[in-house]
Amino acid sequence: MAAALSALWPGLGQWYAGRPRSALAHGLPPLLAVLGVALFFVAQRAERAFALLLQPQVSLTVLAIVIVLLVWRLFSMARARSSADRGANRSQRRVGWAVFALAAALVIVLHGYAASFPWAFYQTSVAVFRPDPTPGIGIGATPSPAIPTPTGTPGPTREPGASFPAEPSPTASPATTAPPSGRINVLFIGIDALPIRNKDHRLTDTILIASFDPSVGKVDMVSLPRDVARFPLFDRPDVEFEGKINELVFWADEHPDIYPQGGIATLVSEVEYLVGIEIDYYASVEIPGFREMIDAVGGVDIVNQQLIDDPEYDWEDGRIGYRLEPGPYHLDGSAALPYVRSRKGVGNTDFQRARRQQQVLLALRQKLDDPDVLARLPDILAVAARNVRSNLPTDDLPMVMDMARQSEGAKIKSVVLGPTTFASLIPASDIGGLYALKLDLKAVAAFSVRLWGSDSRYWDPSNPPPSEEPGTSPGGEPAETELPAP
């Protein structure tokens, strides 16, 4: 009985054995430790507590406290049993040891479950958050230095990513920008790495900037189509990248002599250059990981705005074709995957797909506020550790989480930099029969200045931006749409 009571809480067994001072000595320290940790996290908002636990030093401290409490609890149980053992016969002692062993096993299991939470946070933090050493990525960082131009004269070729000299594309002249406005710009990168792909076909098919301005409570989601091609390179504006932008990460990884910072950092710098805004952080996820994440949170709720009837969609299990009527749906990972990947069929384009990707990202953000998700937390963190990578320093997490909370209920504007407002179709005969787009950098520059003002590299104080909102050009996609707030 003494051992079982101390299993419930250290010191109760000593109290049962008639040793009140010993009971206080055993029970008070763990009580103060637990109350201290609980009050610390209760004083934080849920997002800040989550962010703090993702800092390795915090998660390891909590893990150490759980282990110390386990040892203290077992010690208290043993001492309580010993104190109550006096005068017992041999048969009673055997029963006592059996009860002690059973209670100790239960305590170890419970503490093991409790330890799984800080351990999951620690594993996630060291796996996901890998600050990029490349200058120019992160709040307050200086722009990236130019990468040396490779020797030799590049020539036309259909190798992915090959480049050739071209006249500089029309862009507005960059000007010295004012101090940052307080916006945070995060680049989300979705990598198509399904089992049906080979290692030479890892494409960044989702390139999405989420830009939050806390001063006005607005979120702008800007998608860059994956089929953008023949764009000027950020470090050599007089040279164009011949392949599509979704090939850039793989190509840069394959050419470390030209881009030693790696593929993701190269893509970040290129998006910064084209769109004209500094990217504070990036986060990348591979498509199988996206599916796992949706399943880990229990699925997401979306409203499909228009019929999707894609006769060519290729499922991983060999099925062909995907159809979804308009209306509300609860999507698990397998159902969400074609929703964000399908792009063929009448009225279904890469630009509609980009908007659906934005929609699902917001639905996932909303799902993470569900209290029921707490029980799934270790599984969610394990999925993130396997599939998500970001250059966000863990020290910045509390600030970013605070801004995420501020963004709830914010006005959300969806923008796809596609035709005909921001891009035009490259004739297939000019690019080896491929479907490809060329950005209208003048239109992108005007949009960048209108959206980000003096934070845009295109900002020119002598030429203020137009005040009107872009509409829809004949035959083109809507330039901007509203999305429901999360």
Instruction: Tell me the per-residue pLDDT of 139-152, one tens digit each, with 9 for 90 and over.
Output: 333 333 333 333 33
Q: Which of 73, 104, 128 represents a domain boundary (last residue)? A: 128
Q: Answer yes or no: are the C-beta atoms of 323 and 309 closer than 8 Å.
A: yes
For 165, the enclosing helix (H) or strand (E) is: strand 163-165
Q: Are 97 and 182 in the same domain?
A: no
Note if the bond before 420 is cis, omega within 30 degrees. Answer: yes
Q: Answer yes or no: are the C-beta atoms of 23 and 15 closer than 8 Å.
A: yes
* DSSP code, position 372: G
Task: Please report how the helices 46-53 and 397-406 are oriented relative to each other, as an axis angle in degrees rounded to 10.
Answer: 150
Q: Are 121 and 260 in the same domain?
A: no
Q: Is residue 135 part of a domain?
A: no
Q: Are 123 and 178 in the same domain?
A: no
The single-letter code of the amino acid at 286 is: E
Q: What is the mean pLDDT of residues 398-422?
A: 79
Task: Please state, in angstroms and rounded to a whole number, the distance separating the CA atoms of residues 70 and 88.
Answer: 27
Residue 475 has pLDDT above 50, yes or no: no
What does R_g of the chain's alpha carbons equal in angstroms?
28
**pLDDT number for residue 408:** 66
Q: What is the mean pLDDT of residues 387-410?
A: 80
Q: Is residue 140 part of a domain?
A: no
Alpha carbon distances (Å) from 308 to 165, 211, 324, 349? 41, 28, 5, 10
Percent of the chain at pLDDT > 70 equals: 80
Task: Please state, in angstroms and rounded to a whole number, the distance separating the CA atoms of residues 13 and 2.
Answer: 4
pTM check: above 0.75:
no
Task: Please report how the helices 333-341 and 287-296 are oriented relative to each other, as an axis angle in degrees rounded to 10.
Answer: 140
Q: Which residues pair with 211 in a beta bridge?
A: 185, 220
Q: Answer yes or no: are the C-beta atoms of 8 and 16 closer than 8 Å.
A: no
Which residue do the tokens 């309580």 mark?
Answer: 80
Confidence band, pLDDT 50/70/90 cuts, at residue 464: low
Q: Is residue 133 part of a domain?
A: no
Which residue do the tokens 């790696």 mark?
Answer: 262
The sign of the torsion formed by the CA atoms of 160, 204, 236, 275 equals: positive
Q: Which of 111, 128, 145 represents a domain boundary (last residue)? A: 128
Confidence band, pLDDT 50/70/90 cuts, at residue 409: low
Task: Please state, in angstroms and rounded to a whole number, the distance separating the CA atoms of residues 11 and 19.
Answer: 9
Which residue do the tokens 């997401």 mark?
Answer: 300
**pLDDT number for residue 163:** 39
Q: Is residue 54 part of a domain?
A: yes
**pLDDT number for residue 63:** 95
Alpha carbon distances (Å) from 238 to 67, 163, 360? 60, 10, 37
Q: Are 124 and 171 in the same domain?
A: no
The single-letter code of the amino acid at 136 is: G
Chain mean position to CA 150: 33
Q: Is residue 143 part of a domain?
A: no
Q: Is residue 192 part of a domain?
A: yes
pLDDT tens digits, 267-296:
999 999 999 999 999 998 887 778 888 998
Task: Please state, in angstroms and rounded to a whole number, the distance separating the CA atoms of residues 268 and 234.
Answer: 10
Structure tokens at 175: 């000007």
Residue 370 has pLDDT above 70, yes or no: yes
Q: Are 284 and 351 in the same domain?
A: yes
SS3 (DSSP) at 91: helix
For 448, the enclosing helix (H) or strand (E) is: helix 441-452
| Helices and strands of the chain, counted as H and E runs | 14, 16
**pLDDT number for residue 87:** 65
Closest CA relative to residue 138, chosen from 295, 332, 268: 268
Closest CA relative to residue 423, chosen from 244, 298, 286: 244
Q: Is residue 80 part of a domain?
A: yes
Task: Please state, in angstroms and rounded to a whole number, the distance separating the CA atoms of residues 53 and 467.
Answer: 44
Confidence band, pLDDT 50/70/90 cuts, at residue 402: confident
Q: Which residues contact 325 (CB under 8 A, 6 or more apart)?
A: 304, 307
Q: Are 250 and 327 in the same domain?
A: yes
Task: Please state, in angstroms and rounded to a whole number, the distance separating the CA atoms of residues 406 and 181.
Answer: 16
Q: Are 290 and 387 in the same domain?
A: yes
**pLDDT number for residue 221:** 86
Q: Are 216 and 268 in the same domain?
A: yes
Q: Is residue 149 part of a domain?
A: no
pLDDT tens digits, 209-249:
989 888 777 888 898 998 999 999 999 999 999 889 999 99
Q: Which residues pair with 164 in a beta bridge?
A: 240
Structure tokens at 54: 């993702």
For the chain, the first-to-last Cα distance in angstroms comes to 52
For 415, the enclosing helix (H) or strand (E) is: strand 411-416
pLDDT tens digits, 124-135:
999 998 765 443
Task: State which residues form the domain around 41.
Answer: 2-128
Q: What is the mean pLDDT of residues 240-261?
A: 90
**pLDDT number for residue 484:** 46
Q: Which of 76, 103, 128 represents a domain boundary (last residue)? A: 128
Task: Please state, in angstroms and rounded to a whole number, the distance separating the CA atoms of residues 42 and 373.
Answer: 18
Per-position b or e across 160-175, b if 16+ CB within 10 A of its CB: bbebeeeeebebbeeb
Q: Answer yes or no: are the C-beta atoms of 311 and 344 closer than 8 Å.
A: yes
Residue 69 has pLDDT above 60, yes or no: yes
Count: domains in the chain? 2
Q: Are 185 and 315 in the same domain?
A: yes
Q: Which residues contact 151 (CB under 8 A, 6 or more apart)?
A: none
Q: Are 264 and 363 in the same domain?
A: yes
Q: Are 113 and 173 in the same domain?
A: no
Confidence band, pLDDT 50/70/90 cuts, at residue 65: very high
CATH code (residue 334): 3.40.630.190
Q: Are 474 and 366 in the same domain?
A: yes
Task: Please state, in angstroms and rounded to a whole number, the distance separating the CA atoms of residues 71 and 380.
Answer: 29
Q: Answer yes or no: are the C-beta atoms of 475 and 420 closer than 8 Å.
A: yes
Which residue do the tokens 């600050």 mark?
Answer: 131
**pLDDT number for residue 194:** 52
User: What mean pLDDT is reported for the chain?
Assistant: 79
